[in-house]
Chain A
Amino acid sequence: MTDLYESQRAMRAMRKAALQRGVIAILDIGTSKIACLVLRFDGPETTRESDGVGSLAGQSAFRVVGAATTRSRGVRFGEISAMNETERAIRTAVQAAQKMAQTRVDHVIACLSGAKPRSYGLAGSIDLHDPTVTEQDVARVLAACEVPDLGETRHVLHAQPVNFALDHRSGLNDPRGQIGNRMACDMHLLSIDGDAVQNLLYCIKRCDMELAGIASSSYASGISSLVEDEQELGAACIDMGGGSTGISVFMKKHMIYADGVRLGGEHVTSDISKGLQVSLALAERIKTLHGGVVATGMDDRELIEIGGDTGDWEHDRRTVSRAEVIGIMRPRVEEILEEVRERLDAAGFEHLPSQQIVLTGGASQIPGLDGLAPKILGNQVRIGRPLRVQGLPQAATGAAFASCVGLALFAAHPQDEWWDFEMPLERYPARSLRRAVKWFKDNW
């Protein structure tokens, strides 16, 4: 765990370097597409005086100068399964985005959707030496959080302090400078499969780029798709991707739970392919053009040519009604949504004050989903699209780009994570020079 912890620290330094250079790339490695955005940071806002909150929630600090999407290769369930193929696809996307941006990008922030995310709530508390809380105390209380046994090969992807409590006052966002005797903190920790991260790191290294940050795609889509009061009051974002469906629950603007279902739009496609005996590409086309989940009487009369190239006239002149396609798609979509419901129930989503659910991601564009989803997930369901950011091409504003946009916001304003705080003094080796320097700093 420490090595990723250290590399997360290094990535934060890398991100700072990238912001200084002003250009950073966003890479969303999904099962069905790989998207790359190139962001240019022009420093703080210059057009108007800042009153603490920048315009467009502060995300006008950057603009998208390059965007490219390519068909994903070698990715299954949001995890890299064929490295060379994925590396080629990443190269294609990055090169096209660089070409559009007319600049070279050396730093990349990536997200991945699969890799079996598992979320943990950690709690820790310490007695304060000094009644006033300092940064060092925050670091100590974070270090005091008991880390569960994550598993042999699992790594920490996010570790965000969610809540601080001083004595009996809870719900503090920033305890520094406040006075108390005992400080407690709640932390949300998201662990993922280490091998998937290693594969991703390797692919990005093969593309001559430095990783400046890594995030879970369900977290990123939550940032971009949930509006501010949803994030504040409590909401779940369901990112329905190609190979996996991400779930993230937000409350008080913190992610408090994340999970993933290893089902997605490609399973729907393969169902169509199997059910209609057509190729995957054709099945994808039929799904995109004629798909749906609520059948009406009209759909029986709408016939779709599914063709074929076997040379058998009967086989190649087949038609299928739209109702049949819907009949194939609906069970799978229901299965996905039920799986999501199960995960949300397991996480205790029904105890949140507000139970808004936002569906986003490419698979959320199925017509009729807004009628089907409330039956399974509850009444407060809406189909979400990501925030609009400056310079994003029209083609990349759809729901399929929710995690891309969220990652761009994440690049501009990352939440404080565990590794953004200083290491507590006790963790330094006893004879370390840095410990001596720190002692002088603190006592003089």
Chain B
Amino acid sequence: MQPIERAARRHDPAPSRWAYRMHRLWLTPAVRRLLRLGVPVAISGLALLYVFSQPQNRTVLTQMVSEIRRTIAERPEFMVTTMTIDGASAELAADIREVVPVDFPISSFDLDLAAMQAMVAGLDAVAQADLKVQPGGVLHLNVAERVPAVVWRAEGNLELLDEGGRRVAALAERGTRADLPLIAGIGADRDVPEALELLAAAGPVSDRLRGLVRVGERRWDLVLDRDQRIMLPETGAVTALERVVALHQAQDMLARDLAAVDMRNPARPTLRMRPHAVAELHRIKGIELGDILQ
């Protein structure tokens, strides 16, 4: 019989079983994708992981990145050299320069405009602040200053308040801002708009007006010269004042020897006279009564 396994046969064109299987495996789409995409990605991922697991490599990379950032940020186009302030008085401008912690020249990449804006707007005297970096390396501040409306005296300090009651600045002497009306008393700053309304309503007596006093943090007293007071109620103070002013215009009431006009109960206005006036009143009444009695 011929041997079944022929030795040293010619080259067999048929693929071996394993070659055939490997070929089929290679033609399987999932395997193909895995080998073509998955393996390179995995290898490069592992290589990156290995490189970054070394701390010195990481520091080198961060240094390199920050160096590149620095060279870009320090180009002259991005440098800010001066600050200009618009709409602020000289002392406010000085305050702003003091409060903004920037050493010029500085790169505009390093400026935190939002924080600076918050800082400047946090100043009492500033109502609104806009910051922008303008071409030419200029940090431009557009400031709207608070306008003081009243002088507030409380606990021995003088302060300027704007018409909303916000503090503007401290005041050393009343005389320096004699043009502004004076309010006093604890809690007076919390109701400045009403105070301003009262001051406007007090028009005919404004030449005698000394100021407004907040009493018990709830109501206003209008203080005139000659130690006269108009005590106003908590609510409807302006109406009460208008009534007093009308009385004054009709009967010249406040020109008389009164200590106070008490309007705290609007249904029952009360006048408080001085002792001399009371004695005088009693005397006149006595004469009148005496006449009647005689």
Query: Per-position contact with B for A80-97: 1 when CB-CB < 8 Å, else 0?
Result: 000000001101101100
The answer to whether B21 touches A104, judged by C-beta atoms less than 8 angstroms apart, is no
Q: Please report the total number of B residues contacting A with Cβ < 8 Å.
A: 12
- B54: CB under 8 A from chain A? no
- A104 near B24 with CB under 8 A, answer yes
Given known A-B contacts A70-B13, A88-B14, A91-B14, A208 and B21 have beta carbons under 8 A apart:
yes
- Chain A residues contacting B20 (CB-CB under 8 Å) are 91, 94-95, 207-208
> In the complex, what's the smallest C-beta–C-beta distance from B38 to chain A, in angstroms?
18
Q: B15 near A104 (CB under 8 angstroms)?
A: no
A89 interface neighbour in B14, B21, B27, B28, Cβ under 8 Å: B14
Counting chain A CB atoms within 10 Å of each CB, the highest count among B21, B23, B24 belongs to: B24
Instruction: State the Cβ distance, B161 to closest chain A Cβ, in Å.
Output: 82
User: B27, A88: Cβ atoms under 8 Å?
Assistant: no
- For chain A, the bracket of interface size reads 10 to 19
Q: Is B17 an interface residue (CB 8 A)?
A: yes
The verdict on B12 contacting chain A, using a C-beta distance below 8 Å, is yes
Indicate if the CB atoms of B24 and A98 lie closer than 8 Å. Answer: yes
A274 at interface (Cβ–Cβ under 8 A)? no
Other-chain contact of A88, B12, B23, B29 (Cβ < 8 Å): B12
**Which of B13, B21, B29 makes the CB contact (< 8 A) with A92?**
B13
Q: Is the CB of A91 within 8 A of B17?
A: yes
> Which residues in chain A, 101-124, are within 8 Å of chain B measured between CB atoms?
102-104
- CB proximity of B206 to chain A, nearest CB, Å: 94
Q: Is A318 an interface residue (CB 8 A)?
A: no
B12 — which chain A residues lie within 8 A by C-beta? 88
Closest 5 CB pairs of A and B: A88-B14, A104-B27, A92-B14, A91-B20, A104-B28
Quick one: which of A264-281 are within 8 Å of B by CB? none
Do most interface residues of chain B lie in helix, strand or loop, or is the interface mixed? helix
**Shortest beta-carbon distance from B151 to chain A in Å:** 89
**C-alpha gap A104/B24 in the complex (Å):** 6
In angstroms, how far is the closest chain A Cβ from the Cβ of B27? 4
Q: Apart from A88-B12, A92-B13, A206-B17, what are 11 other A-B pairs with CB-CB below 8 Å?
A: A89-B14, A91-B17, A92-B14, A94-B20, A95-B15, A95-B23, A95-B24, A98-B27, A99-B27, A104-B24, A104-B27
List, in ascending order, chain A residues with CB within 8 A of B21's CB: 208
Which B residues touch A70, using CB under 8 A? 13
In the bound assembly, the distance between CA atoms of A70 and B184 in angstroms comes to 114
**Pair A103/B27 contact, Cβ less than 8 Å:** yes
Measured CB to CB, the residues of B under 8 A from A are: 12-15, 17, 20-21, 23-24, 27-29
- Chain A residues near B14 (CB, 8 Å)? 88-89, 91-92
Assembled-state Cα–Cα distance A208/B27 (Å): 14
B24-A92 in contact (CB<8A): no
Which partner residue on chain B sits nearest A103 by CB separation?
A: B27
- Tell whether, in the assembled complex, residue B15 and residue A102 are in contact, meaning their CB atoms are under 8 Å apart: no
- Among residues of B, the one whose C-beta sits closest to the C-beta of A70 is B13
Write the nearest CB–CB distance from B205 to chain A, whole angstroms. Answer: 98
In residues 195-218 of chain A, which contact B (Cβ within 8 Å)? Answer: 206-208
How many Å lie between the Cα of A206 and that of B21 in the bound state? 11
Residues of A contacting B29 in the complex (Cβ-Cβ under 8 angstroms):
103-104
Query: Is A98 touching B23 in the complex (CB atoms < 8 A)?
Result: yes
Q: Max chain B CB contacts within 10 Å: which of A70, A88, A99?
A: A88
A203 to chain B, nearest CB (A): 12
A92 in contact with B23 (CB, 8 Å): no
Q: Which of A89, A91, A92 counts the most chain B CB atoms within 10 A?
A: A91
Bound-state CA distance A206–B17 (Å) is 9
Contact of B24 among A102, A206, A208 (CB under 8 A): A208
Q: Which residues of B contact A89 (CB under 8 A)?
A: 14
Give residues 33-78 of A contacting B (CB, 8 Å).
70
Q: Is the CB of B13 within 8 A of A99?
A: no
A-B contact pairs, 10 of them (CB 8 A): A88-B14, A91-B15, A91-B17, A95-B15, A95-B24, A98-B23, A98-B24, A103-B29, A104-B28, A208-B24
A104 proximity list for chain B (CB < 8 A):
24, 27-29
Complex Cα distance, B19 from A94, in Å, reads 12
Contact with B along A427-444 (1 / 0, CB 8 A): 000000000000000000
Known: A207-B20, A208-B21. A92 touches B15 (CB 8 A): yes
B2 nearest CB across to chain A (Å)? 12
Distance of A95 Cα from B25 Cα, bound (Å): 11
CB-nearest residue of chain A relative to B21?
A208
Q: Which residue from chain A places its CB closest to the CB of B28 in the assembled complex?
A: A104
Considering the complex, give the chain B residue whose CB is closest to the CB of A101: B27
- The chain A residue with its CB closest to the CB of B23 is A95
- In the complex, the chain B residue whose C-beta lies closest to that of A206 is B17
**How far apart are B150's CB and chain A's nearest CB, in angstroms?**
86
Give chain B nearest CB distance to A226 CB in angstroms. Answer: 35
Residue of A at shortest CB range from B19?
A: A95
Closest chain A residue to B24, Cβ basis: A104
